[in-house]
Chains A and B, each alone.
Chain A
Amino acid sequence: MRTVAVDTDILILGGGAAGCYAALSAAARPGMRIMIAEKAHISRSGCLAAGINAINAHIGRGHCPDDYVDYAEKDAAGIARGDLLASMAGRLNKTVRTLEKLGLVVHKDADGRYAERGWRNVRVNGENIKPLLAAAVQKRDQVRVLNRVNIVSILIDDGRAIGAVGFGTTEAVCYVLRAAAIICATGGAAGLYSPNSPGFAGHCMWYPPFNTGAGYAMGILAGAEMTTLEMRFVALRCKGSIAPTGTLAQGLGAAQINSRGENYENRYGTMTAQRVYGTLRENLEGRGPCRLHAGNLTRPQVEDIYRAYLNMAPAQTLKWLEEEQKDRGEREEGGERGGWQEGKGRDEGSCFLAAEIEGTEPYLVGGHAACGYWVDSRRATTVPGLFAAGDAAGGCPQKYASGAMAEAEIAAEAALEYALEHPLGRCRALSASGAAVAEARGFLLRREEKGKVPFEAGQLEEAMQQAMDRYAGGISAAYRFNEAQLAVAAERIGEITFLSGSLGARDMRGLLRIHELRERLVVCRSLIAHLGARRETRWPGFAEHTDYPGADEAWRLHVNSRLQDGRIRVMFRDLVGRREVYEHRA
C-alpha cells in the first residue's frame, strides 16, 4: 500500500449536501486551498443520490425564522439548541436562492413566487440536485476533490485536529491529509439496527446505508463531546420502498388510516415522533395495517404524483405501477378483489392513491433529530480545529437539505477564520497517522495468518444489528428497551468489537467493510450509554425507556458524552436559548 501525503487549508470530510456546500462557501475566499475527501463520488453520493422533490426547510410568506425555531423546538419536545436553530433558520431562504442560481428548478405560482407546500416547504424538481452541486464544486479551481477515499480517523496533535487518514476504496493507497481546519460532513448513521427487510433487500432503507456514522465514530475516538445520541430518528415511510410520505401527506393532505378505515392521526398528535408512535400503537393493538390515503384525485393528479416520486424515490412509483397493472389485469379477467386495496381507485373519474406505512429501524441523523457533535454557535466541535455540519452535527434538528447547507456555510466561515488565525506549522501528521495505518495493514495482512477468526465483516454486522434490534430498542422490540436489556446490548457490542479486531481483508473493499463495521460499533457503544442515561421517555415513537415511561421536566437538558481514558463519560448540559451565543469553555 502506497502512502500519499497532501496538505491543504480546509479539509472537508464527506462531499454530500453539507460537504459540497461548505466547499463552495469556503471557496468564496480567494487563495484558500480546499479539499473534499469523499468515500464514493460527489456526483451522486449521500442522502441526495436519488434526488428530492421538496426543500423541507424554508421560511414561507408571512413567517419568520423564529417561527421555524418554535416549530423545531416543539417537534423535538424541547431538546434542541435555540442558538443553532436560529442561525440556521436565518440562512435558509438565502440557501434556496443560491441553489436556484446553481440550476435547481423551484416551482412557482402564477405570480412567479415560490410554490409553497405548507409554510416550511417549497416544491422543486430536485432529481438532479446533487449533480448540480457537484458540478458547481468541480468548477472551482481552489477545490480539490478526492473521490473514493474513505476517511477513518482524525489526526490529533497536541490536542488540535491537524488532518485525517483515509484509504482508497478501490486503489491500495493510504492518504494522510493535513489541514489547518477540518469540517466533518460525513452525514449520520444507518445500519446500526436490523432493517425493515433483512437479507437481500436489507439495504432498501430510508437513510443511505453507506453513511455509517464514520464522522461520529472518528469524533468519539478523538475525544469530541457528542450530544443527544439517544434521540434516534425513526422515519414513517411507505412499506417496502421506504419512500418518503411528505408528498402524499403534506402535498395532498392524505390521512393516516387504520384497517378499520379510521383516521387515527389526531389520537396521538402530529409531531414527527407521534406519527410514528400512533402507527406503531395501531399495529400493536391489532388495527393494522396502516395506510396513508389520498382520495378524490383526478387521473392527472395521480400522474403528477408518479412523476414526483420518480424524482426522489423511483421504487415507490414502480410499486404503484405494478399494483395498478395487477388491478387492471384482474378487472380484464372479470375478477373482483374484495375490500380495500392499494393503488388506483376503481371508479372512473376519481382515483385514490394509498401506501401502507411503517416505521423504519432507528437511525442517528443530526439533520432530523438533535444527535451529533456538540458544537458552539459557530459549529466548532470541542476539538480545536474540527468543525461539523449537516447530519453529523448535533443540537439542531429539522435541518433537511437546505439547513444542512446553511449550517455548512456557517461552519465554513468559522473554519476559514480558524485556518487564517492558526496556520498549520510543523506538526506530527505522519506519526499521528501511524496507529490507523498500522491497524489497516494488520487487517490486510491477517488474511494469510493462521488463527484469525473465521468470520466475515458482514456476519459481525448482522450480529451487531440483531443485538441492537432486540436489546436496544429496534423494530422487533417496538423501539422499547430497559436498563437490563441495554446492559445485554452493551456486552454484546463489546464482544463483537473484540472479534472485529481479528478480521481479515482480502482487498481495499474488504478493508472498507471492516472500517464501516468498526465505526458502527463505536457509535453503538455511545448510543447505548445515551439511551440509558436519559431516564425518561421523551420521544415515544423514537424510543421508549420502559423503566421510565413518560416525560419528566427534570430532563429538559442535553445528555452529552465524551470518551475519556477508554470510558464513556456522560454529562448534562443546559439548554441554550435562541438569542444566546454558546462558546466551549476549556
Chain B
Amino acid sequence: MSIALDPALCSGCGRCVEVCPGGLLALGPDGRARNLSPGECWNCAACVKDCPCGALSLYLAPQIGGGGATMRAARLGAVLRWEIIFPDGRSRFIRVDSSRPDGY
C-alpha cells in the first residue's frame, strides 16, 4: 500500500526491484520502476532506504491513521537522512548514523 513513486525522479537503476522482500516492484517498459501491487506492501521501507534518487517515499494509509505525510531517505555514507514532508508543505529531517551507537 504505502509507497509513493515519483517517476520523474526515478533513474531506472533497479535497486528497489532487487530489495523488495515481496518482489512487488518491477521496471516498466519505460525503464522506470513501477509498483506491481500497491496493496501488498509490507511497510518495511527497504526500497525507500535504498533508492539513490529519492524517488520512493513511505506514507501511512488512511485506514491505519495516515494523515498524508510522506517520508523518504537519502544515504550519506553511514548516515541515513530521513526527510519527512507534511501535507502543509513543511518538512523536517532526522539523521540516523548507523556507525554510531545512539543511546535511547
Given A203-B39, A204-B43, A307-B104, A318–B60 Cβ distance below 8 Å? yes
Q: For the complex formed, measure the closest distance between the CB of B35 and the CB atoms of chain A, giving whole angstroms.
A: 13
Expressed in whole angstroms, the minimum distance between the Cβ of B84 and any Cβ of chain A is 5
Please tell me if the beta carbons of B44 and A44 are within 8 angstroms of each other in the complex: yes
Counting CB contacts under 8 A, is A162 at the interface?
no
A50-B102 contact in complex given A41-B18, A148-B23, C-beta closer than 8 Å: no
Q: Of A43, A127, A170, which one neighbours B23 at CB under 8 angstroms? A: A170
**A188 CA to B2 CA in the complex, in Å?**
24
The answer on a CB contact under 8 Å between B103 and A44 is: no
| Interface: B53 (CB within 8 A) | no
A115 and B100 CA atoms in complex are apart in Å by 13
Is B74 an interface residue when CB atoms closer than 8 A count as contact? no
Q: Quick one: which of B18, B94, B101, B104 has the most chain A CB within 10 A?
A: B104
- Chain A, residue nearest B37 (CB): A509
A173 at the interface (CB under 8 A from B): no
- Say whether A46 contacts B21, CB under 8 Å: yes
Give A399 to B24 CA distance when docked, in angstroms: 29
**Alpha-carbon distance between A304 and B99 when the two chains are bound, in angstroms:** 15
List, in ascending order, chain A residues with CB within 8 A of B5's CB.
none
Judging by beta carbons under 8 Å apart, are B101 and A125 in contact? yes
Which residues of B have CB within 8 Å of A317?
71, 82, 94
B67 partner, pick from A40, A197, A310, A322, beta carbons under 8 A = A322
Contacts of B39 in A (CB 8 A): 199-200, 202-203
Cα separation A204 to B39 with both chains bound (whole Å)? 9
Instruction: Indicate which residue in B45, B59, B67, B101 contacts A106 across the interface (CB closer than 8 Å).
Output: B101
Q: Is the CB of B102 within 8 A of A203?
A: no
CA distance A319 to B67 in the complex (A): 9
Given contacts A105-B99, A148-B23, A308-B104, whether A204 and B90 have CB atoms under 8 Å apart is no
A306 to chain B, nearest CB (A): 6
Whether, in the assembled complex, B10 has its beta carbon less than 8 Å from a beta carbon of chain A, the answer is: no
- Taking CB as reference atom, which chain B residue is nearest A148? B23
Determine whether the beta carbon of B101 is less than 8 Å from that of A50. no
Q: Which single member of B22, B40, B63, B96 contacts A40 (CB below 8 Å)?
A: B22
Find chain A residues with CB under 8 A from B80 CB: 127, 310
B100 contacts which chain A residues (CB < 8 A)? 105, 125
Q: Is the CB of A201 within 8 A of B61?
A: yes
Instruction: Say yes or no: A304 contacts B67, CB within 8 Å.
Output: no
Residue of B nearest to A310 (CB): B96
* In the bound complex, CA of A76 to CA of B38 (Å): 37
Q: CA separation between A107 and B86, bound complex, in Å?
A: 32
Which of chain B's residues have a CB closer than 8 A to the CB of A313?
A: 43
Most central of A41, A210, A301, A322 by chain B CB within 10 Å = A322
B 60-104 binary contact with A (CB < 8 Å = 1; else 0): 110111110101000000001010101010101010101111111
Residues from chain A with a CB closer than 8 A to the CB of B23 are 39-40, 148, 169-170, 210, 509, 512
A49 adjacent to B44 (CB under 8 Å):
yes
Q: How far is the CA of A484 from the CA of B16 in the complex (A)?
A: 47
Would you call A90 an interface residue if the criterion is a C-beta within 8 Å of the partner chain's C-beta atoms? Answer: no
Chain B CB within 10 Å — which of A107, A123, A305, A318 has the most? A318
Q: A107-B101, A204-B1 are in contact. Are A49 and B96 (CB under 8 A)?
A: no
A311 interfacial by beta-carbon distance below 8 Å = yes
Which residue of the partner chain B has the closest CB to A107? B101
CB nearest neighbor in A for B92:
A321
A314 proximal to B (CB < 8 A): yes
Indicate whether A105 sits within 8 Å of B82 (C-beta atoms), given known contacts A318-B58, A322-B67: no
Using known A-B contacts A125-B98, A310-B96, determine if residue A321 contacts B69 with beta carbons closer than 8 Å: yes
Q: A310-B82, A321-B69 are in contact. Are A40 and B44 (CB under 8 A)?
A: no
> For residue B61, which residues in chain A have a CB less than 8 angstroms away from its CB?
197, 200-201, 204
A78 at the interface (CB under 8 A from B): no
Are A203 and B18 in contact, CB atoms less than 8 angstroms apart?
A: no
A128 near B69 with CB under 8 A, answer: no
Main secondary structure of the interface of B (DSSP, over half): loop
B20 within 8 A of A: yes
Candidates A202, A247, A319; contact of B65 at CB < 8 Å: A319
Docked Cα-Cα span, A451 to B71, in Å, equals 47
Q: Does B13 contact A (CB under 8 A)?
A: no
- A window 227-251: CB within 8 A of B: 239-241, 247, 251
Do the beta carbons of A321 and B84 come within 8 Å of each other? yes
| Minimal beta-carbon separation of A327 from chain B (angstroms) | 12
Give chain A nearest CB distance to B61 CB in angstroms.
4
The residues of B that contact A512 with a CB separation of less than 8 Å are 23
Chain A min CB distance to B36 (Å): 7
Question: A63 — which chain B residues lie within 8 A by C-beta?
Answer: none
User: Is A208's beta carbon under 8 Å from chain B?
Assistant: yes
Among A43, A201, A326, which residue has its beta carbon within 8 angstroms of that of B19?
A43
Q: Is the CB of B64 within 8 A of A204?
A: yes
List A29-55 residues whose CB lies under 8 Å from chain B: 39-41, 43-46, 49-50
Contact present for A40 and B20 (CB under 8 Å): yes
Q: How far is the CB of A303 from chain B (nearest CB, A)?
A: 8
User: Which residues of the other chain, B, contact A108 by a CB distance below 8 angstroms?
Assistant: 101
Contacts of B55 in A (CB 8 A): none
Q: How far is the CB of B68 from chain A (nearest CB, A)?
A: 8
Given A49-B21, A128-B98, A44 and B46 touching (CB < 8 A)? yes
Question: Are A240 and B64 touching (Cβ within 8 A)?
Answer: yes
Is residue A296 within 8 Å, beta carbon to beta carbon, of the partner chain?
no
A209 contacts the other chain (CB 8 A): yes
B41: CB under 8 A from chain A? yes
Give 29 A-B contacts (CB < 8 Å), ordered by A residue.
A40-B21, A44-B21, A49-B21, A107-B102, A123-B101, A125-B102, A197-B63, A197-B64, A199-B63, A200-B38, A200-B39, A200-B61, A201-B63, A204-B61, A208-B21, A239-B65, A241-B64, A247-B104, A304-B103, A313-B43, A314-B82, A315-B2, A317-B94, A318-B69, A321-B84, A322-B65, A322-B66, A325-B90, A512-B23
**Interfacial residues, chain A to chain B (CB-CB below 8 A):** 39-41, 43-46, 49-50, 105-108, 115, 123, 125, 127-128, 148, 169-170, 197, 199-205, 208-210, 239-241, 247, 251, 301, 303-308, 310-311, 313-315, 317-319, 321-322, 325-326, 329, 509, 512
Q: Told that A50-B45, A304-B103, A322-B60 touch, could you supply 6 new A-B pairs with CB distance under 8 A?
A: A40-B22, A201-B63, A314-B71, A315-B60, A318-B59, A318-B71
